Chains A and B, each alone.
Chain A
Amino acid sequence: MTGRPILAIDTSGTRALVALGRPDGTLIDERRWQAGYRHGEELLTRTDELLTSNKVALAELGGIVVGTGPGAFTGMRVGIATAKALAHGLDIPIAGVATSEALLAAAREVAGTWKSAPASPSRVAALLLPAGPSDRVLVLGGVATLLRGGEEPQLDAAILLVAVDLPDRAPAEALALGVQAEHGLSAALLRLGAARIAAGGEDVARLVPEYVTLPRGITAVKGEVRWSHDRH
């Protein structure tokens, strides 16, 4: 293996993952677990165990890839805060990859070889994700739309629907494709992130997650923070 390995983290769903990849983005090994809403308790210990069992020292890492959602508040905060401290602490580049983009890339790959939903990798796909107990969010062409309650997505029949983390709340075929997409998530994150890391990554300070939804009435953040220093 030439070059330094990269680490990918995604905590956008109730399942979390940490994955180790080669500099070209191919998957070496991964750890996945059911995190619920307590992603922070296990993320570092799982990361440490993954690195140790693959005999990779922290200092050998060449970049951090982090899934930026959309996802639930708790997980996004944990994953991005951890990824930022890893990249900053190790002084290596960071790349944020939309989890939705990685899931759709993974789904397209399996859809090409899938019997009941024959599709080419270039076929347009849309992603359906949970947004709380009754709402769902639809991601199509990079745009996320909130579907309240039982509202159904209005989609052209040619569009491949991929449903993730929505047991009993989406068509069976979309759910089956979602399961496959989740299996391929680590590989897709690494593949998409590796190219961005090779290009130098992005500003670690500016990286913030995409949430599934903001509270009603809150549309945008106005104003700036005020800084204060004191030195003695």
Chain B
Amino acid sequence: MTRGGLILAVESSCDETGIAIVEDGSRICSNVVASQVAMHAAAGGIVPEVAARAHLRWIVPVLDEAWAAAGVTWDDISAVAVTEGPGLAGSLLVGINFAKTLAYVHAKPLVPVNHLEGHLYAAWLADETRDEPEPIFPLVALIVSGGHTFLVEMRDHLQYKLLGETVDDAAGEAFDKVGRLLGLPYPGGPEIMKAAAGAVRHDVTFPRAWLGDSFDFSFSGLKTAARRTIATETGGEGTAAGESPLSVDRVAELADGFQESVVDVLVTKTIRAARAAGARSVVLGGGVAANSVLRDRLAAAAEAAGMPLVVPRPGLCTDNGAMIGAAATRRFEAGVRAGLDLDAKPSLPLARR
């Protein structure tokens, strides 16, 4: 078997330790993720110090697993890639120093990758389990996660123009906070989706922040409205995880109303932005893209607008090494390299307007 363009990619920007080996920017040879969700669930959110320590604990076993699953040798690897930002400084530091030392020891080029670019390039990862085409330029991408919500236009590889972004909370953050108010476990995203699926009536309506013609997003008003409604219905008692005074049916209806509001705004703005940009395809990525209501709704709207939607399967929407490997391949081909002095860039932007 000939192997060209194999990249070893390391991702540690938040609370997932991911290492993957990716071929030609699309084929996944191996992709191993150690997720700390169970660890942080007790704290109801990510504790940065705990996250960084867990990265240190798990990074070697993750590398060993990824290496064994790919069945490659260092001679096959053309470069080592790593997320340089944005993300939690302490978490980024672990992956960056681990990856650059591997590059140093094995005398391989080091390729720095923007984490958000990784979420975009997850759309290029080939996968036998789906039959969507590759993204076609120009495209508009919606990246939506616990830390980010933005719309970006790409007219070619590695070229990004920011169309809009959240002015307050990320959508995933709103899911987490409202999930907690409803007494659902952390993280809120999948839990709200699960609860909403049980809704029989769909008559709870929460506000939508359109912000005029702008492609920016705002979720803080929605969060406040949800908090007020929940407080009124629970008599202001507040809820602890697993012991909501609301009935299961009512939690389902409120979750459904909240999710509808988020999905409506995300889908409407994305399609409007794609039309305005003359896009030929739409890309969806980031952890919240694992939400099947968002995926289905955006797919239907994009198809109606004559643009195919490309969305990675849920396992590739959440943080992982393969998406970093996919983006790194394009960067490697474009000659992007980092030196041994590479440091974490916690607030690295992807694009400007």
**Chain A residues near B (Cβ < 8 Å):** 38, 40-45, 48, 58, 73-74, 77-78, 80-82, 84-86, 88-90, 204-209, 211, 214-215, 218, 221-232
Contacts and interface: CB of A to CB of B under 8 A. Distances in A.
A89 to B, nearest CB: 3
Interface residues of B, number: 57
B57 A88 contact: no
Contact of B343 (A41, A80, A82, A84): A41
Nearest to A213: B49
B34 A208 contact: no
Most chain B beta carbons < 10 A, residue from A89, A90, A215: A89
Contacts of B42: 222-223
Majority secondary structure of chain B interface residues (helix, strand, loop or mixed): helix
A86 B28 contact: no
A9 B27 CA distance: 38
Contacts of A232: 27-28, 126-128
A221 B38 CA distance: 11
Interface string B87-105: 0011001111111111011
Closest 5 CB pairs of A and B: A89-B105, A85-B101, A81-B97, A223-B39, A44-B340
Interface in B60-114: 60-61, 63, 65, 69, 89-90, 93-102, 104-106
A211 B63 CA distance: 25
Given A205-B61, A223-B42, A44 B100 contact: yes
A88 B344 CA distance: 22
B28 A230 contact: yes
Contacts of A229: 30-32, 65, 69
A81 B38 contact: no
A88 B60 contact: yes
B59 to A, nearest CB: 7
A40 B344 contact: yes
B236 interface: no
B93 A78 contact: yes
B339 to A, nearest CB: 8
Contacts of A74: 89-90, 93
Given A226-B34, A230-B315, A85 B90 contact: no
Given A208-B53, A218-B50, A226-B35, A82 B97 contact: yes
Contacts of B288: none
Most chain A beta carbons < 10 A, residue from B30, B37, B40, B50: B50
B101 A82 contact: yes
Contacts of A48: 104, 340
B35 A225 contact: yes
Interface string B257-297: 00000000000000000000000000000000000000000
